[in-house]
């Protein structure tokens, strides 16, 4: 069968159907009313090229993506959520948001990563298409201008080095040197240097929390050992950001899809899907997406999901900063508790 006649389909939690034509790497989003016309689409076309995003620089960590292959990412308020890590910000999960023009909650992308500019140029010469290029602010300006001249249609995104901002005072105009940055990294107990500390090294140690305070990194380690209860517990042990939840769901998605058809993963699929559903609902709670979460409450959860949701709501209620937020969480918790008792 020719590649041009092959499609990959993805049904999203919000009820959309995304259909990707693999030969041309384009996609169409189908709603309950028919194909979606993305905002700003030329000639009202329903067909959209799969966004191709390239990261340039050896300090980026994109190991959670299958580089050069089709991946799916979350969409928040019409923007693609692209999580990444960068050595300058230690273990922090950072995010790039790119306009999609779609109301869909999950969309396809292709991610590339090149350590050096010559690798990127070689890929371009070989016909690799790119729509967005991500670099950090220390990328040489002369080379940046040269790239822009050579590829005028390429959308370039420059990220800030958070560590440099953290070290420098408001009166300092000179960027800190490499030794200062390394010293700061060593002094900050919350930062794990992923170039020096590998997940496989931590697997052999008992209490991972003694070695890392990064929930995303811990999730990756626990998933490798299939310790799913420990992954679930991260929701209660850490105050997760929505981006971190999205990052963890990316790991789960790769394992659930099991593109390499690993036998050991096939038996775990139901539990992995259950865990992913719990983290999806956690994302709705952490972002206080009232209509969407209440619709989920109306539909009901399984016993495991209800228990997981109740525990998170109880924790979030204790952390509520306003009376209104506390009341909303209390009502959700009460409904989740009733649901849990009904199932039990």
pLDDT for the residue 193: 33
What confidence category does residue 5 fall into, taking pLDDT thresholds of 50, 70 and 90?
low
pLDDT for the residue 266: 87
What distance in Å separates the CA atoms of residue 258 and residue 107, rounded to the nearest whole number? 19
Radius of gyration (C-alpha) of the chain in whole angstroms:
22
Give the rounded percent of residues in the chain with a pLDDT score beyond 70.
Answer: 82
Question: Does 181 have pLDDT greater than 50?
Answer: no
Least-confidence region, from 52-61, 81-90, 175-184: 175-184
Question: Does 91 have pLDDT greater than 80?
Answer: no
**How many Cα atoms within 13 Å fall on the side-chain side of residue 299?**
12
Question: Does 149 have pLDDT greater than 50?
Answer: yes
pLDDT for the residue 212: 59
Q: What average pLDDT does this structure show over 279-299? A: 90
* 118-126 long-range contacts, CB within 8 A, separation 24+: 120/54, 120/56, 124/151
What confidence category does residue 3 fall into, taking pLDDT thresholds of 50, 70 and 90?
low
Element (H, E) at 147: helix 141-150
What confidence category does residue 288 fall into, taking pLDDT thresholds of 50, 70 and 90?
confident
pLDDT for the residue 101: 92
CB 272, CB 231: distance < 8 Å: no
The packing angle between helices 290-299 and 269-286, to 10°, is 140
Taken in order 204, 205, 211, 217, the sign of the CA dihedral is positive
β-partners of residue 8 are: 20
Q: How far is CA 99 from CA 18, 132, 134, 329, in A?
A: 17, 11, 15, 31
What confidence category does residue 172 fall into, taking pLDDT thresholds of 50, 70 and 90?
very low
Q: What average pLDDT does this structure show over 224-232? A: 90
Angle formed at CA 115 by CA 113 and CA 117, multiple of 5 degrees: 100
What distance in Å separates the CA atoms of residue 91 and residue 215, rounded to the nearest whole number? 9
Element (H, E) at 199: helix 199-203
The owner of tokens 């390499």 is 260
Q: What average pLDDT does this structure show over 283-302? A: 89
pLDDT for the residue 174: 41
pLDDT for the residue 20: 95
Least-confidence region, from 11-25, 152-166, 252-266: 152-166
pTM metric for this prediction: 0.55
* 99-103 long-range contacts, CB within 8 A, separation 24+: 100/38, 100/51, 100/75, 101/38, 101/39, 101/40, 101/41, 101/48, 102/29, 102/36, 102/38, 102/39, 102/48, 102/75, 102/78, 103/16, 103/31, 103/36, 103/78
Please give the mean pLDDT across all residues of the chain: 80
pLDDT for the residue 1: 46
Q: What average pLDDT does this structure show over 295-302? A: 88
What confidence category does residue 178 fall into, taking pLDDT thresholds of 50, 70 and 90?
very low
């Amino acid at each position: 069968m020719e590649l041009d006649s092959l499609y990959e389909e993805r049904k999203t939690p919000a009820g959309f159907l995304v259909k990707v034509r693999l030969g041309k790497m384009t996609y169409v989003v189908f709603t309950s009313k028919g194909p979606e016309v993305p905002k700003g689409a030329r000639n009202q076309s329903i067909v959209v090229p799969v966004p191709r995003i390239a990261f340039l620089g050896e300090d980026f960590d994109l190991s959670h993506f299958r580089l050069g292959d089709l991946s799916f990412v979350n969409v928040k308020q019409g923007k693609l959520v692209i999580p990444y890590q960068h050595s300058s910000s230690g273990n922090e999960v950072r995010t790039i948001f790119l306009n999609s023009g779609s109301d869909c909650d999950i969309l396809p992308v292709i991610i590339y990563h090149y350590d050096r500019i010559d690798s990127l140029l070689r890929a371009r010469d070989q016909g690799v298409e790119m729509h967005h290029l991500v670099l950090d602010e220390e990328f040489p300006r002369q080379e940046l201008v040269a790239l822009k001249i050579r590829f005028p249609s390429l959308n370039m995104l420059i990220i800030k080095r958070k560590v440099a901002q953290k070290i420098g005072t408001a009166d300092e105009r000179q960027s800190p040197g490499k030794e200062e940055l390394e010293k700061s990294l060593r002094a900050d107990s919350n930062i794990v240097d992923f170039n020096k500390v590998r997940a496989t090294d931590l697997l052999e140690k008992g209490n991972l929390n003694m070695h890392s305070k990064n929930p995303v990194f811990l999730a990756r380690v626990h998933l490798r050992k299939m310790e799913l209860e420990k992954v679930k517990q991260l929701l209660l042990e850490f105050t997760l950001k929505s981006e971190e939840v999205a990052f963890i769901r990316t790991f789960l998605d790769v394992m659930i899809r099991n593109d390499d058809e690993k036998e050991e993963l096939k038996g775990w699929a139901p539990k992995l899907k259950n865990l992913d559903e719990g983290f999806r609902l956690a994302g709705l709670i952490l972002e206080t997406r009232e209509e969407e979460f209440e619709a989920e409450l109306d539909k009901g959860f399984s016993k495991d999901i209800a228990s997981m949701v109740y525990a998170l709501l109880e924790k979030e209620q204790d952390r509520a900063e306003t009376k209104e937020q506390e009341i909303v969480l209390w009502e959700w918790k009460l409904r989740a508790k009733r649901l849990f008792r009904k199932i039990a």
